[in-house]
Amino acid sequence: MVFLTSKLWSSHGSHGSGDHKPDNSEGELKKIYAKASTQSFAENPRYPMHPTSGVMPMSIVGRFKHERERLGPDFDNVQREWRIKTIHDRHLHPSEPFEVKQLYNEYHNPIRRFYRWPLDQFEDWLRRSGIFEKFIPGENQNWPKITRQLMGGGFLIYLSVLGVWYYMKYNREHWEKYRGPQISFYRETIFPGDPRFPAKDIRTESWQHYDKGFHNRKVFLNNDQQ
C-alpha cells in the first residue's frame, strides 16, 4: 500500500492571507500519484522487523481531518474530493475483517492457541448468533471481543485472588517455619479520658505473646496434655 507524502498539504495555516496560492495544484497531485504508483518496497528492507519496513508511517487524511482546517482557503475542490475518497475507504466490506489463519498462527504459538481455544470458540459463537446485534445494532463485531476479554481477564483475576488467599492461609510464618507472611494484630490506642480507658489486654497469659501457634501444635506434647 502506498501512502501519500506530506507534500500534498500546505504547511501554512488555514487563516492565511487571501492572496495565498495553494502549493498542491491538480497537476502536482497527478505527478505524485504517477510516481507513487510505480514505487515498490525493496526486496531486502533495511529494517525487516519494523512494522513499516523502515518507512516513516504517516496519515493519508492530513490536516484537513479537523473541521477548523477545512474552513480555510486551502480546502479546495481537489482536497474535498480526496477527503471523500478517504472517508469512503474506511467503510469495510461485510465480510471484513477477514481473519487469516496462517497469520494468527504466526503471532500465537501452540501454547497460546491451546489455552485461548475455549474463549475463541465462545467468541465465534457470539458472532454467529448475533446476540449483541439484537440489542446494539451495528456492534456485533466489537462486543463479542470485549465480552471475551472481560471473561478472560476476570478469570485470571479470580485465579490470582485464589492464589493469594491460599498462600496467606497455608504458608504463613509459624513456630516451625521462619519464612512466609506474618500476620499480626495490634491493640487500639486508647488515651485517658476515653470511657474505655484503661483497656484490658486480650492476652491474659504470658505464653500468648509471640506464640506463633506453638500451643496449638500436634507434636512434642507432654504425657499430661495427651
Q: Please state the domain extents for the chain.
A: 6-89, 101-170, 182-217
> Helices (H) and strands (E) in the chain — how many of each?
7, 0
| Cβ-proximal residues to 202 (8 Å cutoff; 6+ apart), any chain | 187
CB-CB contact of 78 with 24 (8 Å)? yes
Q: Which of 31, 16, 29, 5 is nearest to 82 (CA)?
A: 29
Cell numbers of 106, please?
Answer: 504466526
Long-range contacts of 84-93 (CB under 8 A, 24+ apart): 86/60, 86/61
- Residues forming a β-bridge with 174: 177
Distance of CA 113 to CAs 117, 127, 170, Å? Answer: 6, 19, 33
Q: Tens of pLDDT along the chain (226 residues)?
A: 444 443 334 444 444 444 444 455 778 777 776 766 665 555 445 555 566 666 667 777 778 888 888 998 889 999 899 899 888 888 877 777 778 888 888 889 999 999 999 999 999 898 888 888 777 776 667 888 899 999 999 999 999 999 999 999 888 888 888 888 887 777 788 888 888 888 887 777 877 778 888 888 888 877 555 4
CA distance 101 to 103: 5
